[in-house]
Amino acid sequence: MTKNNAKNTIVELEMQDGSTVKLTLAYRFLLQLSTFNRKVYDEYNAVWNKKEGKREEIDNVRVLYAAYLCACIQDGTQEAAMSWDEWLDNVTLDREAVGYAMRDLLAPKRKGDIETRSE
């Protein structure tokens, strides 16, 4: 059996209204985010500069917003992307889904790997 070594860096997150958005933290798009929206990029980096145990729950939502903007940049739809306030109004309140998205963004699975989550 062979495995595809390419990593799947795209994660989907279901929003409050049932729609889904793409997320990515691929370096290429983080670099482009630093030009497109420096404030969001700086806030993203500030999260990672906090000491372990000093991060707040909203920090996860900030990271996901940066990942959302990166995916919009990848798709070429960044000009139509949600603002931070729109994101806050629409992002899922399912903390478990936020946690899974964070995990999958930070440790991408190989394309084709099957993962079973308990429900």
Give the model's pLDDT for residue 55.
86
Answer whether residue 26 is part of any domain: yes
Answer whether residue 88 is part of any domain: yes
Task: Show the low-confidence residues of the chain (pLDDT under 50).
Answer: 1-6, 114-119
CA distance 6 to 109: 9
Answer whether residue 27 is part of any domain: yes
Give the model's pLDDT for residue 7.
57
Answer whether residue 50 is part of any domain: yes
Domain that holds residue 15: 11-106
Answer whether residue 5 is part of any domain: no
Answer whether residue 94 is part of any domain: yes
Q: How many domains does the chain have?
A: 1
Answer whether residue 118 is part of any domain: no
Give the model's pLDDT for residue 46.
95
CA distance 17 to 90: 7
For residue 89, which amino acid is it? D
Give the model's pLDDT for residue 94.
97
Give the model's pLDDT for residue 43.
97
Answer whether residue 92 is part of any domain: yes
